[in-house]
Amino acid sequence: MHSKNVTAAYGSKAGSERSTTAAQPVGGLAAAAETRLVAWLLRQLGNPDIEVVLWNGTSVCPSRNPVASIRIADRATLWRLMYQPELAFGEAYTDGRIEVRGDLVALIENIYRRPEPALAQWLWRPRRPHHNTLAGSHDNIHRHYDLGNEFFRLWLDDEMVYTCAYYPHPGASLEEAQRAKMEHVCRKVVLRPDERVVEAGCGWGALALYMARQHGARVRAFNISHEQILWARDRAAREGLADRVEFIEDDYRNISGRYDVFMSVGMLEHVGPEHYGELGRIIDRCLTENGRGLIHTIGRDRPMRLNAWIEKHIFPGGYPPTLGEMRPIFEPFNFSVLDVENLRLHYARTALAWFERFERSVDRVAAMCDERFVRAWRLYLAGTHVAFTTGMLQLFQVAFARGGANDIPWTRAHQYA
Amino acid sequence: MHSKNVTAAYGSKAGSERSTTAAQPVGGLAAAAETRLVAWLLRQLGNPDIEVVLWNGTSVCPSRNPVASIRIADRATLWRLMYQPELAFGEAYTDGRIEVRGDLVALIENIYRRPEPALAQWLWRPRRPHHNTLAGSHDNIHRHYDLGNEFFRLWLDDEMVYTCAYYPHPGASLEEAQRAKMEHVCRKVVLRPDERVVEAGCGWGALALYMARQHGARVRAFNISHEQILWARDRAAREGLADRVEFIEDDYRNISGRYDVFMSVGMLEHVGPEHYGELGRIIDRCLTENGRGLIHTIGRDRPMRLNAWIEKHIFPGGYPPTLGEMRPIFEPFNFSVLDVENLRLHYARTALAWFERFERSVDRVAAMCDERFVRAWRLYLAGTHVAFTTGMLQLFQVAFARGGANDIPWTRAHQYA
């Protein structure tokens, strides 16, 4: 599964050094000190099966069977790596000042799988939440989702669903799994014909259209990504669903009206914990007495900041919460949590599918953007896959209703009928 | 469903007054003030469909269609009701100083279903947790579960399961539903032959024996109720399962050994939030790397103290937590919550089945104990049913594993196969 040699596919500024198997430093005192520093850093990471090769050809490799080799192009990169490991690794990898030879996925997995030492505790400590004001959210979302629909089309499924899929069986295709996910969330909220649905954060509109097409729902779908909204409206018109699905370019905080179903798939990650109470108040305002809700979100087992590089370059303002951290959405408004499902392994598989499709389209991505962009997205997609296989990240689907509402499913058997 | 006239079945010290329909007080100034006080109290409760009749025959009834009539035997009872409504109602009902004519279930439902006014906020405010030290827990458990196995046999199912059942379909019998519940929790933890299970709080042993008999597990089951342990051991011997199921009369805090499965059905209610971290540490100590766990517990949608009368007379030391309040069990130990199911409506049905069986056995209960005991348990069982129908209480089953363990079910479809 992790046999791809991901360096073969892209050029690198740092690709000129050659690996040596020398365990001793070559060069002077500074070089000797740096070698010891690398050895220390690897010890702090639990001595993963990784070789580190410095600019002067020095190799440090505590493992007999390294799965990959990290080549560091210059002294400045090494020192930045010591100071801010997560951020520096991602940035240097993007720039080509760090190159990975061997299996990128296995390399990340090796680092994440080790027992968590003091360094990791420090790296992944909780930190203050980000600011997702109305303007801030707009910028944050624009930077990721408005990269160009043509880019996402290269590696997403044919419905353009950019959230965790649901694989009914491990052999399902990404396309099957995304459709199964849409059906799964509809069943969880027991969606009925002509019910009014509000969707908070609708991506390219696949789920909103699915709910209208397959279940006869009337949907108002909110999103602040301009590119996505245009695409979704165009698709609704082409499919003849524009009278049942309204795509609204606006923030979830501006949702108005009353709905039988509140649906949000892959938005909570962008909300930020300081706004959970506000989100709960909005759901409380818009949900009918017998309404049902579903929040599908990346999460954590324990509070932890987002990877610093991901937060800076991929998902500004992102924060994956624990179930406990979601309390302010539900408890103050007397919402009753009916069902929580953790689909972590499904996201591992989804991200792997994206990664593999991305790798197959890498020449076209490079032509659209540049090599730096290719490297950044390669690292992000590989890292996402590994974060879910190792349990650094979770995927929670939380279904809820108003406290005391008895028009709720008797069992969950209908989800599997 | 709520048509039982529950007063017909038992005598009452306060049964001698006669109801009048007079809306005006009879008697002097004090009586007039008391009538106004009752009217005020009913307003604070949202003017439920209830008549209140005082010792002098005065009736206060804001509703045109009262479902039941509460008869208050004396002035002291009324004033205690003003001061400590929950506790005073339960105690006076037990003593016969408050009598209910009409439908007890509908009466409690009427009070719980009203929009929550200031009084209710005050009544059900969160309060400091109780003390469940080793000695304290022993006393608390002894007072409830050691009442005598013969008493519980009168109204529990034939397996003596005293926790929420799982009704695969609404028409299932209590016996079917208790067996279905045992199978349901076994499937949730994917129990395999010869796996080692520790059960924390095992009641009369039905689940421990089921896991051994139906799934070939080897079970060590802990309980501090002496009566229950004796019964369970006797049953294990009779069924030839004594070599696979060991019943241990000890506190969950003294669990030792390593297990593939941690199972706890209906114990967390007795643990108390101040001990959740300790419980998490014990699970962490005893669970194997690929181990699975399940906690089945009464809970809340938002933090709220237990009904004062229930806490004093029925479940000393009891506290039903919200999902969020359970965080200290999971997060510090990197447990990953895989699945949460809220079976509130199943507990409503379970408690109703118990209540109905109890009512059918009421003469035998009275012969075993006394009328005061009958009244207390009638109120407790009716109140439990209503607490679940109205959403005052929830029933959570939380399945979990170690963070990053990938030997977990792919989907939940096997639970419904």
The ipTM assigned to this model is 0.90
Please state, rounded to an integer, the average pLDDT across all residues of chain A.
Answer: 89
Across the range B94-100, mean pLDDT stands at 96
Which pLDDT value is given to residue A124?
A: 58
Tell me the pLDDT band of B27, cut-offs 50, 70 and 90: low
Least confident of A12-26, B189-203, B205-219, B253-267: A12-26
Q: Could you tell me the two tokens for B27?
A: 């008697």
> Using the beta-carbon criterion (under 8 Å), do A301 and B391 form an inter-chain contact?
no
A96/chain B closest Cα distance in angstroms = 31
Whether B10 shows a pLDDT value over 60: the answer reads: no
Stretch (H or E) spanning A287: strand A287-299
Stretch (H or E) spanning B221: strand B218-223
Report whether A214 contacts A183 (CB < 8 A): yes
> Using the beta-carbon criterion (under 8 Å), do B406 and A113 form an inter-chain contact?
no
Across the range A241-270, mean pLDDT stands at 97
What residues contact residue A240 under an 8 Å CB cut-off, 6+ apart? none
B296/chain A closest Cα distance in angstroms = 14
B388/chain A closest Cα distance in angstroms = 8
Which pLDDT value is given to residue A122?
A: 63
Q: How far apart are CA A170 and CA B29, in angstroms?
A: 78
Across the range A182-197, mean pLDDT stands at 98
Q: Considering only CA atoms, which of B245, B158, B159 is closest in space to residue B199?
A: B245
Residue in chain A nearest B402 by alpha carbon: A391
Q: Could you tell me the two tokens for A44?
A: 């702090």
Which pLDDT value is given to residue A14?
A: 36
Q: What is the pTM of this model?
A: 0.90
User: Beta A68-72 vs A50-53: how paired, if at all?
Assistant: parallel
Q: What are the tens digits of pLDDT across the range B289-344?
A: 999 999 999 999 999 888 889 988 888 889 999 999 999 999 999 999 999 999 99
With H, G, I as helix, E, B as strand and everything else as coil, classify residue B400: strand
Residue in chain B nearest A328 by alpha carbon: B324
Which pLDDT value is given to residue B239?
A: 97
Burial class (CB in 10 A: 0-12, 13-18, 19+), A274: middle
What is B275-286 written as a DSSP string?
A: GHHHHHHHHHHH
Q: What are the tens digits of pLDDT across the range A237-254?
A: 999 999 999 999 999 999
Q: Which domains does chain B have, with CATH numbers?
A: 3-123 (3.30.1050), 134-416 (3.40.50.150)
With H, G, I as helix, E, B as strand and everything else as coil, classify residue B197: strand
**Stated length of chain A:** 417
Q: Of A169, A327, A345, which has the smallest distance from its Cβ to B406's Cβ?
A: A345
What residues contact residue A273 under an 8 Å CB cut-off, 6+ apart? A129, A319, A321, A325, A328
Tell me the pLDDT band of A115, cut-offs 50, 70 and 90: low
| Interface residue of B295, B302, B344 to substitute, partner A, most A CBs within 10 Å | B302
Q: How far apart are CA B312 and CA B71, in angstroms?
A: 23
Across the range B131-155, mean pLDDT stands at 77
CA B225 to chain centre: 17
Q: How far apart are CA B315 and CA B327, in angstroms?
A: 23
Q: What backbone phi and psi angles, to 5 degrees, belong to A72?
A: -100, 125
Which pLDDT value is given to residue A298?
A: 98
> Using the beta-carbon criterion (under 8 Å), do A334 and B413 form an inter-chain contact?
no
Contacts of B404 in chain A (CB under 8 A): 113, 390-392
Q: Tell me how many helices (H) and strands (E) chain A has.
A: 16, 11
> Using the beta-carbon criterion (under 8 Å), do A341 and B170 form an inter-chain contact?
no
What is B228-284 written as a DSSP string?
A: HHHHHHHHHHHTT-TTTEEEEES-GGG--S-EEEEEEES-GGGT-GGGHHHHHHHHH
Which pLDDT value is given to residue A128?
A: 53
Can you point out the beta strands (E) in A193-273? 196-200, 218-223, 245-249, 259-265
Residue in chain A nearest B300 by alpha carbon: A336
Which pLDDT value is given to residue A15?
A: 35
Q: Considering only CA atoms, which of A269, A283, A290 is closest in space to residue A333?
A: A283
Across the range B66-83, mean pLDDT stands at 94
Chain B residues near any Cβ of chain A (below 8 Å): 113, 166-170, 301-303, 322-324, 326-327, 330-332, 334-342, 344-345, 389-392, 394, 403-406, 408, 410-413, 415-416
Q: How far apart are CA A111 and CA B349, in angstroms?
A: 50
Which pLDDT value is given to residue A131?
A: 67
Task: Return the amino acid letter for B80.
Answer: R
> Using the beta-carbon criterion (under 8 Å), do B338 and A339 form an inter-chain contact?
no
Q: What backbone phi and psi angles, to 5 degrees, belong to B397?
A: -110, 120
Whether B25 shows a pLDDT value over 50: the answer reads: no
Tell me the pLDDT band of B141, cut-offs 50, 70 and 90: low
Which pLDDT value is given to residue B1?
A: 32
* CA triple A201-A203-A204, angle to 5 deg: 145
Q: Which residues pair with A197 in a beta bridge?
A: A219, A261
Whether A8 shows a pLDDT value over 60: the answer reads: no
Which pLDDT value is given to residue B16?
A: 34
Q: What are the tens digits of pLDDT across the range A161-185?
A: 999 999 999 999 999 999 999 999 9
Chain A residues near any Cβ of chain B (below 8 Å): 113, 166-170, 301-303, 322-324, 326-327, 330-332, 334-342, 344-345, 389-392, 394, 403-406, 408, 410-413, 415-416
Residue in chain A nearest B416 by alpha carbon: A413
B112/chain A closest Cα distance in angstroms = 10
Residue in chain B nearest A332 by alpha carbon: B302
> Using the beta-carbon criterion (under 8 Å), do A336 and B394 form an inter-chain contact?
yes
Q: Of A168, A391, A408, which has the smallest distance from its Cβ to B404's Cβ?
A: A391
Q: Of B302, B339, B406, which has the smallest distance from its Cβ to A334's Cβ?
A: B302
Contacts of B294 in chain A (CB under 8 A): none
The conformational region for residue B257 under phi > 0 = left, psi -120 to 50 = alpha, else beta, is left
Please state, rounded to an integer, the average pLDDT across all residues of chain B.
Answer: 89
Higher pLDDT, B6 or B33: B33
Tell me the pLDDT band of B125, cut-offs 50, 70 and 90: low
Across the range B8-35, mean pLDDT stands at 51
Which pLDDT value is given to residue B111?
A: 86
Q: How far apart are CA A177 and CA B362, in angstroms?
A: 55
Which pLDDT value is given to residue B36?
A: 92
Q: How far apart are CA A269 and CA A296, in angstroms?
A: 9
Whether A125 shows a pLDDT value over 60: the answer reads: no
Can you point out the beta strands (E) in A343-417? 394-402
Which pLDDT value is given to residue B66?
A: 95
Q: How far apart are CA B97 and CA B88, in angstroms?
A: 10
Q: Could you tell me the two tokens for B157?
A: 């199912």
Q: Could you tell me the two tokens for A160?
A: 């353009």
Radius of gyration of chain A (CA): 23
Of chain A, the percentage scoring pLDDT greater than 90 comes to: 73
Q: Considering only CA atoms, which of B214, B197, B105 is closest in space to residue B159?
A: B214
Tell me the pLDDT band of B126, cut-offs 50, 70 and 90: low
Contacts of B412 in chain A (CB under 8 A): 341, 412, 415-416
Q: How far apart are CA A76 and CA A84, in angstroms?
A: 12
Residue indicated by tokens 């940035």 = A91
CA A53 to chain centre: 30
Which pLDDT value is given to residue A245?
A: 98
Which pLDDT value is given to residue B124?
A: 58
Which pLDDT value is given to residue A123?
A: 62
With H, G, I as helix, E, B as strand and everything else as coil, classify residue A35: helix
Least confident of A248-262, A311-325, B139-153, B187-201: B139-153
